[in-house]
Structure 1
Amino acid sequence: MGSEGAAGEPSVLRASARDVVPWRNGAGTTTVVAEGPPAEGGPTTEPAWRISIATIDRSAPFSEFAGVDRLLMTLSPAGLDLVIDGRRVRGEAFDVLPFAGESAVEAVDVRGTGLDLNLMTGRGAAVGTLVARHLDGELTLRSPGTPSTPSSWTVAVVVEGDVTSPTHGALALHDAVVIPSGGAVQLTGRAAVIALAVIEPTRAS
């Protein structure tokens, strides 16, 4: 599921349209929320960036992604415990944990089914930020760059509460609004939280 569209025109990617796919190592499942174009000079099958939501229902190792930088946001109220390269790290709800795709990462002491949102960026192709933004009112989101240089993206994923857009209507849980370079969209929320990712190139495209 890509994020193609007219330059500067936001689009909505619905959670109900996503397929569930196994992790690369087969230890869990995920759904792809949005992904960018292929990384310049890299394998055509690998996008410069990808956002996904993984289901974690047991203690298990994560897949390895060489050459990728990862940001993981815990979506479950119970939080998530990881061991990253031998160091135990605790992520409470909506915390963001960074690690390299080459790192040895394992979910531990999992006692129920939970979710996490992942932003993966190809090292040398793109850099990203990921934060939880509380929304109780109106918010205008803008993507950096200009429509003539479509290489930056802003992606907002509904992770809690009720969110609407004047141009796209009601957004269900885990629906995503994808804003290309130079675009903007207005959101209205009530006791809501969005996962806000901003992706920019590390070199001229």
Structure 2
Amino acid sequence: MGKPRSIHRRYQREFWPAMAAYVAIMLLLWPLLPQVHNALLKLAMALLPVAAVLLVVRAMVRLVLGSDELEQRIHLIGLAVAATAVSTLSLAGGFLAAAGIIKLDGTILIWVWPTLVVMYAGGRRWASRRYGGAADVLCDNGVAVHWQLLFAALVIAAVAGLGRHQLGDHQFGMLCGVSGALGSGALLRAIQHWRKRWRGEHEAS
């Protein structure tokens, strides 16, 4: 039990700072790109989010490699589900754009990776339940889900507060909404966790 717990703790230490850096870069630095005229500096700022993404991927790969065979199989199924869903959506979007039904530009590519991560999380959750394991994504034997959701809500709220003068009303409102949704999710998961724990202690007594 000690080794899996240490692996997941390491994952938490590596994943969340990298993810917070990605969010901060996208919301605080990217709006400044139109004001940058130096070609090299603009190139570096444009590719900076990729560095944060690579750190996130590194944390996930280290988690998978440190897991047992069942966990690795669950991760593989989640990745297969994500790859199938995202590639199918991309194909459908390409055909619709080619037919002139919808208009897409290059910025749509920015959403490929976040969509892949969300689909991967859902696929892994489904596979974990199918094999009778915990349904929590990437946090089994790690920090409780409600604490992770609360941390994410606080990070996004901090980014919104720090970048208030650089963000448009739409971006600021979106961040506040996401932060509020994550905070509400954290509260609901915390209530479920505490109720389950209270029932276990009550039945044991």
Given the two structures, how large is their TM-score scaled by the length of structure 2? 0.29
Structure with greater proportional strand content: 1
Structure with greater proportional helix content: 2
Structure having the higher Rg: 2
